[in-house]
Chain A
């Protein structure tokens, strides 16, 4: 059974701080890792993807992948109230599986 675990939160950070969101996964053969942002009442929006160990930066967002420890994280620098949302971690499996396993998401609240 493939599992993706996230702390449900809420994670509360002050405006301007770094928000750190974490995700662990069970399938050691997983190859593709994604972060989605979902505002309340809206659909998930893909914000980051990462495929190899290390960091990947895109603007204020940094995705970090450690396959040996089976975790992936998302850092949001200079957090803004507009970053308040639920962040979903998704993992695609080994052998070309195109069906991702989603975590249940972490709720982030950025307060002014």
Chain B
């Protein structure tokens, strides 16, 4: 079974803080993704990575950065958290050789106050 884990299920941060969200997958997947999900807006892609140290912007990269130093780990960084970044953050991974079905982590519910 594919296992994708995220560092926290719930997180509360203050405006202006630097926030790190970590994602780890154990299936040797090349592709990793960060989404945020908000009611009525669906899943929106923030960043993705297809290899170590490689990253590409998704649809809404503003205010975020990412890091992928190891194949199994993909971190999302909020440089200066703002209240409009309160959301559910979902990490996913997929295998490059298959049909690219994605497997999701449990999600992090981030609240910025």
Contacts and interface: CB of A to CB of B under 8 A. Distances in A.
B64 interface: no
5 contacts: A36-B104, A92-B99, A98-B96, A99-B33, A100-B102
Nearest to B91: A43
B50 A98 contact: yes
B40 to A, nearest CB: 8
Nearest to B106: A43
A49 B45 contact: no
Given A98-B50, A102-B43, A46 B101 contact: yes
Interface in B55-113: 90, 94, 96, 99-107, 109
A71 to B, nearest CB: 19
Given A51-B99, A90-B102, A98-B96, A43 B43 contact: no
Contacts of A90: 102
